[in-house]
Amino acid sequence: MKPAPFDYHAPATLAEAVRLLQQYEDDGIDAKVLAGGQSLMPMLALRVARPEVLIDLRQVAGLTGIREDAGTIVIGAMEPKQLAAESPLVQQKQPLFHAATELVGHRQIRNRGSVGGSFAHADPASEYPAVALVLDMEFKAVGPGGERSIPAEEFFVTYMTTSLETNEILTEVRMPVMAPGTGWAIQEMARRNGDLALAGVALTLQASGGICTAARIAAFGVNATAVRLPQAEAALVGQALNATNFTNAAALGAAELVEPMTCIHASASYRRQLVKTLLERCLAEAAGRLG
Ligand SMILES: Cc1cc2nc3c(=O)[nH]c(=O)nc-3n(C[C@H](O)[C@H](O)[C@H](O)COP(=O)(O)OP(=O)(O)OC[C@H]3O[C@@H](n4cnc5c(N)ncnc54)[C@H](O)[C@@H]3O)c2cc1C
């Protein structure tokens, strides 16, 4: 199928892009921003989405780049995912985000798809929202009222829905540099290499003298949005990092998932089992990276 007809704008500035979004909203016309098009264009072609206007962000100045700012890695929303994956700064200082990026689709998709587009799209099977929860990322958005900062736990609302207003543009993603000695892991199960995950787990661990001092765990591909697993986290803190405790925490994590999704590829119980297995494996992998 081909997309339904739409009007097209390619503004050169963020202010102009926001002005266009606001103007169309005031006129009751459905306008959407276009980033890399790797999710939006298929949705247009299938007519799952039928915006009357597309506002292309690719000419907008100032939305790309990767830099470090006082212990925080700042990535422009329009930075291509492949460049984020290849960035030495990201590879060395935020290896979990690097590993997550390499799991996203294929190189061609990462070349075109933007970092911000994946967060704004908020696909429940995407690696990025789970990593955002684990790393406690922050999102900067600009709208007619100016700029605001949104913490990850308030950003992802439900299935493909974020707390961005319809007249706001995501401009920047901020994530902490990984603290030295942190253990981390991300694992997923997909039908084919590059497919969106049927289920996955991302986590970080910290420890002192073989005892877990902090754990942040999130599952993706299971519910309408990525979810933290607080019972599994709590079960680990204060405990020795050993296989028995990993098995117990994984069982708790799988049990605390509320109504996993069912689809033709994976039932709810299969997804729950996947989270248990992947969580146990991630804990062992992350423990191997501690220190
Ligand atoms: C074959 C295939 C496999 C894929 N596999 C994976 C995978 O394994 N994991 C994964 O996470 N993704 C996967 N994707 C999706 C891919 O990562 C997309 O690049 C990403 O979801 C969207 O980024 P984009 O820049 O292309 O955004 P677009 O498709 O242009 O936009 C997506 C949505 O986000 C909105 N949006 C984009 N940028 C902004 C912004 N700055 N501010 C406000 N709203 C914005 C758009 O309006 C639109 O609603 C896959 C895609 C394909 C085609």
Please give the full DSSP string across 199-260, using - where no structure is assigned. EEEEEEEEEETTEEEEEEEEEESSSSS-EE-HHHHHHHTTSB-SHHHHHHHHHHHHHT--S-
Residue spans of alpha helices (H) in the chain: 14-26, 40-45, 81-86, 88-93, 95-103, 107-112, 115-121, 127-135, 152-155, 230-236, 243-255, 268-289
Question: What pLDDT digit, counting tens, does each position of 82-128 carry?
Answer: 999 999 999 999 999 999 999 999 999 999 999 999 999 999 999 99
* Residues 6+ positions from 47 with CB-CB distance below 8 Å: 1, 3, 4
* Whole-number average pLDDT of the chain: 97
Q: Which of 75, 104, 121, 128 for a ligand 1 pocket mutation test, highest count of atoms within 8 Å of Cβ?
A: 121
* Residues 6+ positions from 101 with CB-CB distance below 8 Å: 81, 84, 85, 90, 110, 115, 127
Domains of the chain: 7-56 (3.30.43.10), 66-176 (3.30.465.10), 183-289 (3.30.390.50)
Query: Average pLDDT for residues 233-247, to the nearest whole number?
Result: 98
Question: What pLDDT digit, counting tens, does each position of 153-204 carry?
Answer: 999 999 999 999 999 999 999 999 999 999 999 999 999 988 999 999 999 9
* Ligand 1 centroid from CA 246, angstroms: 34
Closest atom of ligand 1 to CA, residue 35: 30
Query: Average pLDDT for residues 254-260, to the nearest whole number?
Result: 94
* Ligand 1 centroid from CA 258, angstroms: 26
Q: Which of 22, 39, 75 for a ligand 1 pocket mutation test, highest count of atoms within 8 Å of Cβ?
A: 39
The partner residues of 227 in beta bridges, in order of sequence, read: 219
* Ligand 1 centroid from CA 36, angstroms: 7
Distance CA 194, CA 188 (A): 11
Q: Kindly report the protein residue whose alpha carbon is nearest to atom 14 of ligand 1.
A: 105
Asked whether residue 287 carries a pLDDT value surpassing 80, the answer given is yes
Asked whether residue 291 carries a pLDDT value surpassing 90, the answer given is no
Look at residues 46, 61, 60 and name the one whose alpha carbon lies nearest to residue 4: 46
* Ligand 1 centroid from CA 168, angstroms: 17
What are the phi and psi torsion angles at 183 (to 5°)? -90, 145
* Ligand 1 centroid from CA 114, angstroms: 7
Beginning with the edge strand found earlier in the chain, give each strand of the sheet holding 183-189 in spatial order: 183-189, 199-208, 211-220, 227-228
CB of 60 within 6 A of ligand 1: the answer is no
Closest atom of ligand 1 to CA, residue 77: 41
Angle at 27 between CA 26 and CA 28, to 5 degrees: 90
* Ligand 1 centroid from CA 288, angstroms: 32
CB of 104 within 6 A of ligand 1: the answer is yes
Look at residues 36, 87, 103 and name the one whose alpha carbon lies nearest to residue 63: 36
Asked whether residue 79 carries a pLDDT value surpassing 90, the answer given is yes
**Residue 43, Cβ density class (10 Å: 0-12 exposed, 13-18 middle, ≥19 buried):** middle
The whole-angstrom distance between residue 38's C-alpha and the CA centroid of its chain comes to 15
Question: What pLDDT digit, counting tens, does each position of 32-54 carry?
Answer: 999 999 999 999 999 999 999 99
pLDDT band of 1, cuts 50, 70, 90: confident
Query: Average pLDDT for residues 128-136, to the nearest whole number?
Result: 98
Asked whether residue 58 carries a pLDDT value surpassing 80, the answer given is yes
Asked whether residue 216 carries a pLDDT value surpassing 80, the answer given is yes
Closest atom of ligand 1 to CA, residue 112: 26
* Ligand 1 centroid from CA 121, angstroms: 6
The whole-angstrom distance between residue 174's C-alpha and the CA centroid of its chain comes to 12
CB of 222 within 6 A of ligand 1: the answer is no
